[in-house]
Amino acid sequence: MKIFEKEIELVQALIPKQQRSTQPLKAYIRIAGTPLPTLIDIRASVCVISEDLAKKLRLRIEPNDGTKVASLGGGSKIKVIGLILNAPIAVQNLRTLGPLYVMGGTESVVILGTD
């Protein structure tokens, strides 16, 4: 394993320190067939969509299941106001049904977590 660690150090040394800062990972995914710019947060424990965007996509929002807040990456938390149980999510050719927690607000936001 030490060999890999040394290789990582060498690669990092080639990249200027200013460029090593973390940048948000964004990608286009489809929810209910609509392509959307999405923040992919590998530290988030759930997938989140804004109430405004969920309504625009005509997704059925169930009442809050008792979850008051959901953890996102970096320790931040959001207030959960509802849940979409089986949201049709597609990333490239992979299609799945999964839960989306609905947060309040009027800004169109989608965050994919690791759930």
The model carries a pTM of 0.68
User: pLDDT tens for residues 43-84?
Assistant: 777 888 889 999 999 999 998 767 666 666 666 777 788 999
Query: Is the separation of the CB atoms in 69 and 79 below 8 Å?
Result: yes
CATH of domain 22-112: 2.40.70.10
Q: Token pair of 107, please?
A: 């800004």
User: pLDDT tens for residues 88-102?
Assistant: 999 888 898 988 989
Which ranges in the chain belong to alpha helices (H)? 2-14, 51-56
B/e letters for 76-98, b = 16+ CB within 10 Å, e = fewer, are: eebebbbbbeebbbeeeeeeeee
- All structural domains of the chain with their residue ranges: 22-112
